[in-house]
Amino acid sequence: MKYAFFPGCAHDTSAGYKESLDAVCSKLDIELLEIPDWNCCGATITAGESKTSSLYLAARSFALSEKMGYTQILTGCNACYTTLKKSAKYLSSDKHRLEAANKHLASEGLELTKEITIQHVMDIIFDKTPKPIWDSYKNNALQNINIACYYGCQYTRPWLTGPQSDRPEYIENFLTGLGFNAVNHSAKTLCCGAAGAMPNADIAKKLVARIADGVKKESADAIVTICPLCQLNVDMYQTQPDIEQIPTLFFTQLLGLYFKIDLENLGLDKLLISPEPLIEKMQNLKSA
């Protein structure tokens, strides 16, 4: 299957997200078509400065996607996910906003006419791929691998309500289906401090500390993230002295290990906390 893909500014430079996503997608027959000449999603600072300019930024990428024939856009970053999803909602529900955005786009000869939907690339990988491929790698011994899933603050909120917004179980259910042991913890949707990491490092540090503390309680072999900002913050925080270190991977890197994809194709060497203990544990599993 082919999908339009919005990488976002952190995708290429993150610690192996791009490599591992590409590897897993090729395994699953997913083709990600980068939207040509995409621009900043409009997250954080831009949205804080001016709501409308954030909207126009998103609208431009949407129009580019529409031009290439896709109204569904995938992204792998939570900030992009939420910003784009919000923008898509505003543009499709408010004619005046759409007209204003199109006025700006007209100078480039672009126009947004269709309703755009945004999906996290994880949703497609989990829900839209053939089960037999997954099943052929299933191994009961994986239940000895303890995974703490960390969603970040923007994947579930404001899109899910009720307990699923604070204590989601979506990734857990999927990984458990593969055989992993997903540990329960209270830090699944805490803020990683991403937006504040530069201007308010102290506050950001405190926020990440809570995530590390929440996960640590459950003694996980790895933390799995779905966002380049989350991964960076949680990984980096643990490099401080006297902190128990848990490898912090992108979910695609864990899936790469599951599929036994060559390690050099997963960018694992870019992680700050070495994933060696996890890799070793996974390689030494006795199949049951």
Partner 1 sequence: MNVQNPKIGVYICHCGMNIYPKVDVMKVAEYAKTLTHVSVASEYKFMCSNPGQELIIEDIKQRGLNRVVVASCSPRMHEPTFRKACETAGLNRFYFQMANIREHSSWVTLDSDMATQKAMELVTAAVKRVSFHAPLYTKDVPVQKSVLIIGGGIAGMQSALTAADAGFKVHLVERETYIGGHMAKFDKTFPTLDCAACISTPKTVSIGQHQDITLHSYSEVTELSGFVGNYKAVIRKKPRYINEDTCTGCGLCAEKCPVSVPDPFNENLGNRKAVYRSFPQAVPLTFCIEKKDPAPCRISCPAGTNVQGYVQMVKTGNYQQALNIIMERLPLPGVLGRVCPHPCETDCRRSLTDSAVSIRDLKRFAADNAKLEDVPLPKVEDRDEKIAVIGSGPAGLTVAYYLRRKGFKVSIFESMEKPGGMLRTGIPDYRLPPAILDAEIDHILSTGIEMNTGVGLGNGITLAGLKEQGFDAIFLGIGAHVPVKMNIENEDADGVIDAVPFLKEENLERPGSAKKRVVVVGGGNVAMDAARVAIRSGAQSVSIVYRRTRNEMPADHEEVEGAIEEGIELINLVGPKKVITQDGKVIGLECIKNELGPADDSGRRRPVPVEGSEFIIDCDMIIPAIGQRVESSPVLEDTDVDLTAWGTFNVDQITFQTSVPSVFAAGDAVTGPATVVEAVAGGHRVVRAIEKYLNNEMELLEDEIRQENKMAGKNDFLPVPEDVPVVKRAKTSFMEPSERKNCFDEVDLGLDEASAQKDAEKCLNCGLCCECMECVNACEVKAVDHEMEEEIIEVDAGAVILSTGFKTFQAEKLFQYGYGIYPEVYTSLEFERLNNATGPTSGSIQMKNGKTPERVAIVHCVGSRDSRNNKYCSRVCCMYSMKFAHLVREKTGAEVWEYYIDMRSPGKLYEEFYDRVQEEGVHFVRGRVAEITDITDHPEDDGRLTVVAENTLTMKTLRTPVDMVILSVGLEAAEGSEDVGRMAGVSRDKDGWFNELHAKLAPVSTPISGIFLAGCCQGPKDIPDTVAQASGAAGEAISLLSKGTVSTKAEISFIDPELCAGCKTCIEVCAYSAIDFDGSRDVSVVNETLCQGCGSCSSACPASAAGVKQFTDLQLMNELEGFL
Told to check if 214 binds partner 1 by CB under 8 A, we report yes
Nearer to partner 1 (CB atom), residue 87 or residue 238: 238
Of the candidates 103, 138, 217, 260, which one interacts with partner 1 according to CB under 8 A? 217
* CB atoms closer than 10 angstroms to residue 269: 11
Residues 208 and 233: beta-carbon distance below 8 Å: yes
Taking the complex as a whole, the smallest distance from the CB of residue 97 to partner 1 amounts, in Å, to 29
Nearer to partner 1 (CB atom), residue 67 or residue 167: 167
The piece of 4-12, 63-71, 208-216, 272-280 that touches partner 1 (CB under 8 A) is 208-216
Told to check if 241 binds partner 1 by CB under 8 A, we report no
Told to check if 243 binds partner 1 by CB under 8 A, we report no
Told to check if 162 binds partner 1 by CB under 8 A, we report yes
Residues 17 and 11: beta-carbon distance below 8 Å: yes
* CB atoms closer than 10 angstroms to residue 102: 17
Told to check if 209 binds partner 1 by CB under 8 A, we report yes
Q: Where are the alpha helices (DSSP H) in the chain?
A: 17-27, 44-49, 51-67, 78-93, 95-106, 121-127, 131-135, 163-166, 170-178, 201-216, 228-237, 251-258, 276-283
Residues 3 and 259: beta-carbon distance below 8 Å: no
Told to check if 206 binds partner 1 by CB under 8 A, we report yes
Nearer to partner 1 (CB atom), residue 36 or residue 163: 163
Q: Helix 228-237 crosses helix 78-93 at what angle (to 10 degrees)?
A: 150
Told to check if 166 binds partner 1 by CB under 8 A, we report yes
* Number of chain positions touching partner 1 (CB under 8 A): 13
Of the candidates 44, 102, 139, 186, which one interacts with partner 1 according to CB under 8 A? 186
Q: Helix 51-67 crosses helix 78-93 at what angle (to 10 degrees)?
A: 90
In the complex, which residues of this chain contact partner 1 (CB under 8 A)? 162-163, 166-167, 186-187, 190, 206, 209-210, 213-214, 217
